[in-house]
Amino acid sequence: MISNPKPSQHLLPFSLKRKLSALAVQYLRKSPISSLFKALGVFVCNSYVPLTAANAEKMVRKGRDNIKVNSVLEVNHFYTKPARCVDQQELQSISPIKVEAEIVLLDIRNKNFSLRNNHLLDDGMNVIDEHSIQFNKLPIRKKVLSKAVSLEGRVAYLSNTDPSNYYHWMCRTLPLLRIYDEWHGLDAIDFFYVGQSPFCDFHRESLIRAGVPLERVIQRACTADRIIAAIINRSRHYGSAPIIEKSYIFSRNLFQEELKSNYGKERIYVARGNVQRRRLMNETEVISLLKEYGFKVVSMDGKTLQEQVKIFSNSEAIVAPHGAALTNLLFIQPKTKVIELFPYGFVNSCYYVLSNYGKADYSYLQGEEIIQTHTDPHHFDLYIDIHKLKQLCKQIFS
């Protein structure tokens, strides 16, 4: 495996270093002598190319004969089933949806294109990605781009805006292997670029399961004789962009043997673990109530991917706050009862859709309005009304 160079030691506090770096990058982007910096090998990303099937020829090829573009539209043949909730809590964002995914596949034979800082960049140092990302919030905008090594052969893009996020990896990124295998064959790909974020055990476990040797995994920024990149635009539903069923099937099938042997009757509450955001403020009360219904508390912290698969596939009922641990709904058995807890002011349908793919009995409960210490709704803490949770549990378990 080709990793990043080891970072040097810094004396400045991280927050100050990050601010100074952002200011330096802003200067480099607007500097009248930016061409001099480029000549010295110092690059920053300039802008963002929101790629779709409709604009790919215009936005990427632009008359370049060394880039091929293919596209395909994948559509689920069904709508998701309605979810259960308590009275007066029905949310439009958790409602039946027919998911679509538009795939744009690029075959690039242009060494001025590169893979850096988790992204595909064109020869103008513009990020190429799906049309719905919030480019202004991407870390790459505030960083000097990593220097790229030149590789012989074919490199496949296997990264995203946050490849160290468990859901992003298992549901959005790892399934790109299915597309590359269908169009090129995995054996024909020399390297797989997974980005420059921390490379975790779940990356290793899942790649080995998918048949990708770790010696063909690269984290360093690179150019190559050929870059293969699939950009996927998923249909949006009230702000969420759930994955297509084919992606769910791909990741689930990597653990087919475990799923065949695990049919337990556990009832689990999945604690958020050691986190600083999206905390359940009255977790003790919630756990006390759930124990009356036979639940035990589990945490995914420190668990291997295989251990997480076993825990979820052995459970007949799962209650958890919205968070990456629910990615393991990939591995539930049909008819599993799922209750997802949301903070007031934030909802995302990604796990509702996963539950549908797994043929689960899905319910949700939104928390109460509280004073928040975070400004980003994605990070809001939760406070659950125990009476509402008890009402929901009576409907499901009595």
For 112-179, the DSSP string reads T-EEETTEEE-TTS-EEEETT--GGG-GGGGSPPPPPEEEEEEEEE---S-TTSHHIIIIIITTHHHH
Is residue 392 assigned to a domain? yes
Q: Are residues 342 and 291 in the same domain?
A: yes
Strand order in the sheet with 361-366: 296-298, 266-270, 315-321, 337-342, 361-366
What percent of the chain lies above the pLDDT cut of 70? 89
Residue 34 is predicted with a pLDDT of 58
Is residue 4 assigned to a domain? no
| Cα 134 → chain centroid | 14
pTM of structure: 0.90
Helices and strands (DSSP H and E) totals, the chain = 12, 15
β partners of residue 209: none
Is residue 68 assigned to a domain? yes
Q: Which residue matches tokens 């968070």?
A: 323
| 3-state SS class at 293 | coil
pLDDT at 41 over 80: no
| Cα 183 → chain centroid | 23
Which domain, by its residues, includes 358? Answer: 255-397
Q: Identify the domain boundary among 250, 272, 296.
A: 250
Q: What is the rounded radius of gyration, in angstroms, for the C-alpha atoms of the chain? A: 22
d(CA 380, CA 189): 41
d(CA 375, CA 352): 25
Q: Are residues 36 and 49 in the same domain?
A: no
Q: Are residues 184 and 198 in the same domain?
A: yes
Band (398; pLDDT cuts 50, 70, 90): confident
Position with higher pLDDT, 261 vs 204:
204
Query: In sequence order, what DSSP letters do the residues of 45-98 get, joined into one string?
Result: ---EEEE-TTTHIIIIITT-TTEEEEEEEEE-SSPPPPPB--TT---TTSS---
Q: Are residues 183 and 268 in the same domain?
A: no
β partners of residue 70: 105
d(CA 319, CA 326): 9
Residue 36 is predicted with a pLDDT of 54
pLDDT at 33 over 80: no
Q: Are residues 221 and 264 in the same domain?
A: no
Task: Please count the other Cβ atoms lying within 10 Å of the Cβ belonging to residue 185.
Answer: 9
**What b/e readout covers 284-309, taking b as 16+ CB neighbours within 10 angstroms?**
eebbebbeebebeebebeebebeebb
> pLDDT tens for residues 199-209?
999 999 999 99
Q: Identify the domain boundary among 198, 224, 250.
A: 250
Q: Are residues 345 and 217 in the same domain?
A: no
Q: Are residues 241 and 301 in the same domain?
A: no
Residue 378: burial class (beta carbons within 10 Å; 0-12, 13-18, 19+): exposed
Residue 4 is predicted with a pLDDT of 62
Residue 59 is predicted with a pLDDT of 86
d(CA 381, CA 297): 19
Own/partner long-range contacts of 236-242 (Cβ < 8 Å, ≥24 apart): 236/132, 237/93, 237/97, 237/99, 237/349, 238/92, 238/93, 238/347, 238/349, 239/93, 239/348, 240/93, 240/347, 240/348, 240/349, 240/350, 241/132, 242/97, 242/99, 242/349, 242/350, 242/352, 242/353, 242/354
Residue 27 is predicted with a pLDDT of 53
Instruction: Enter the tokens of residue 48.
Output: 């963002």
Residue 275 is predicted with a pLDDT of 79
- CB hemisphere CA count around 110 (13 angstroms): 20
Is residue 1 assigned to a domain? no
Q: Are residues 68 and 149 in the same domain?
A: yes
Position with higher pLDDT, 17 vs 275:
275
Instruction: Enter the tokens of residue 43.
Output: 């690059």
Instruction: Enter the tokens of residue 140.
Output: 């790459």
Band (236; pLDDT cuts 50, 70, 90): confident
Q: Are residues 209 and 290 in the same domain?
A: no
Q: Do residues 79 and 97 lie in contact, with contact meaning Cβ atoms separated by under 8 Å?
A: yes
pLDDT at 301 over 80: yes
Is residue 76 assigned to a domain? yes
Mean pLDDT of 162-171: 96
> pLDDT tens for residues 90-125?
999 999 999 999 999 999 999 999 999 999 999 999
CA distances from 134 to 19, 130, 164, 187, 348 (A): 20, 10, 18, 34, 16
Q: Are residues 36 and 51 in the same domain?
A: no
Q: Are residues 318 and 336 in the same domain?
A: yes
Q: Identify the domain boundary among 250, 274, 299.
A: 250
pLDDT at 73 over 70: yes
Q: Are residues 54 and 33 in the same domain?
A: no
β partners of residue 321: 341
C-alpha closest to that of 223 among 111, 90, 136: 111
- As for how many domains the chain has, the answer is 3
